[in-house]
Amino acid sequence: MDMGLGHLPVMVEEVMTALSPLPGSSHIDATVGGGGHAVRILRASSPDGRLLGMDADGAAIARTAQRLEGFGSRVTLRHTNFEHLGTVASEAAFAEGTVDGVLLDLGLSSYQLADEARAFSFRADGPLDMRFDASSGHPASQLVSTLDEAALTDLFRRYGEEPQARHIARAIVETRADQPIETGAQLATVIERVAPSRRDRRTGRRPIHPATRVFQALRIAVNRELETLPRALEAAVSLLRPGGRLVVLAYHSLEDRIVKRFIAAERRGCSCPVELPVCVCGRQPRLAPIGKQPMFPSEGEVATNPRARSARLRVARRLADPAG
């Protein structure tokens, strides 16, 4: 049985075109998840291409290890957050300046959304956890039960861009005064009482559940997602060989903005203040964007895989070091 049948990788054809794996090439999937992209990369780079797969979710690593076991020693898997990408790659013999492609798929897998024990989904009736790595950090329930109205409002606005943040925060505080909010379904019910459903602003289709942005905000906060992403991007560029590809799938504007600005800064190189007449920092451009920025999934893919609805793909090529 294919362990990946319950998970459809997002924009897989576009990702494969961007990475263009060849026999003997080396790639890093720093968010290996269900292994859907990894399988395709390994097949395309056979018979001797290598892949390092990482994930902060230990359950994902265990599941993907079974799915990829047929590729033998060509695969190295590590249970770790991608903020440690540079260190882990070095330990796995993926040296700086030698990697052909690095993929960061920043979305949740179908397995995580279906995991009742962690309540990533507002449909889950399990504990309100949301941690990728259940062995570290604090669950989302702690934020929901301890933050005051002002702090919750700020969190929902900052990480969820939620226009009803204050109303939702107030409803949470009032509800928990009578009974604790301990499951994803309980939190979703509270939100539904005070916030209306919305339609996707880009497509105008498929009503968005009113809890979507709040759950996003809690997940981002619990897993420090916006803190770790810049470190992963920096490490990825250092690992790429000249001509190597950085491929990033983001699913909300906060992540995508970080990726967009990072690529723009690496394209520009110089980071000196604009008022200086000449560059004194000496930073050289390291990336050049490839193709339309960003790319979106096709209507056909969204129809068959609604999880792809909000995906945004950015691709950049590593430039040669002029000093090299």
End-to-end CA distance of the chain: 48
pLDDT of residue 200: 55
pLDDT of residue 5 exceeding 50: no
- Domain borders along the chain are 12-109+225-318, 112-223
CB atoms within 10 A of CB 151: 12
CATH architecture, domain defined by 112-223: Orthogonal Bundle (1.10)
- Over residues 46-65, the pLDDT tens digits come to 999 999 999 999 888 999 99
Q: What is the mean pLDDT of residues 151-180?
A: 96
Q: List 127's β-bridge partners, or say none.
A: 183
Higher local confidence (pLDDT), 136 or 259: 259
pLDDT of residue 4 exceeding 50: no
Nearest CA to 231 out of 57, 106, 82, 93 is that of 82
pLDDT of residue 148 exceeding 90: yes
Lowest-pLDDT range of 72-76, 108-112, 290-294:
108-112
- Over residues 32-44, the pLDDT tens digits come to 998 999 999 999 9
Q: What is the mean pLDDT of residues 76-87?
A: 96
pLDDT of residue 112: 55
CB atoms within 10 A of CB 104: 23
Q: What is the DSSP secondary structure assignment for residue 320, as one 8-state letter? A: P
pLDDT of residue 277 exceeding 90: no
Share of the chain above pLDDT 90, in %: 71
pLDDT of residue 52: 98
Lowest-pLDDT range of 116-120, 247-251, 286-290:
116-120
pTM comes to 0.89
Q: At 33, give phi and psi (nearest 5°).
A: 50, -125
pLDDT of residue 239: 98
pLDDT of residue 323 exceeding 70: no
pLDDT of residue 109 exceeding 70: no
Q: Are 140 and 218 in contact (CB under 8 A)?
A: yes
Q: What is the mean pLDDT of residues 70-91?
A: 97
pLDDT of residue 2: 41
Mean model confidence pLDDT for the chain: 89
pLDDT of residue 126 exceeding 80: no
pLDDT of residue 306 exceeding 90: no
User: Binning pLDDT at 50, 70 and 90, where does residue 23 land?
Assistant: very high
What distance in Å separates the CA atoms of residue 314 and residue 324, rounded to the nearest whole number? 27
State the DSSP string of 67-95: HHGGGGGGEEEEES-GGGHHHHHHHTT--
User: Binning pLDDT at 50, 70 and 90, where does residue 89 land?
Assistant: very high
Q: What is the mean pLDDT of residues 207-221?
A: 88
Q: What is the mean pLDDT of residues 212-231?
A: 94
Q: Does domain 12-109+225-318 have CATH number 3.30.420.40?
A: no
Lowest-pLDDT range of 16-25, 119-128, 292-301:
119-128
User: Binning pLDDT at 50, 70 and 90, where does residue 3 land?
Assistant: very low
pLDDT of residue 135: 81
Question: In Å, how far are 131, 195, 206 from 209, measured between CA atoms?
Answer: 21, 9, 9
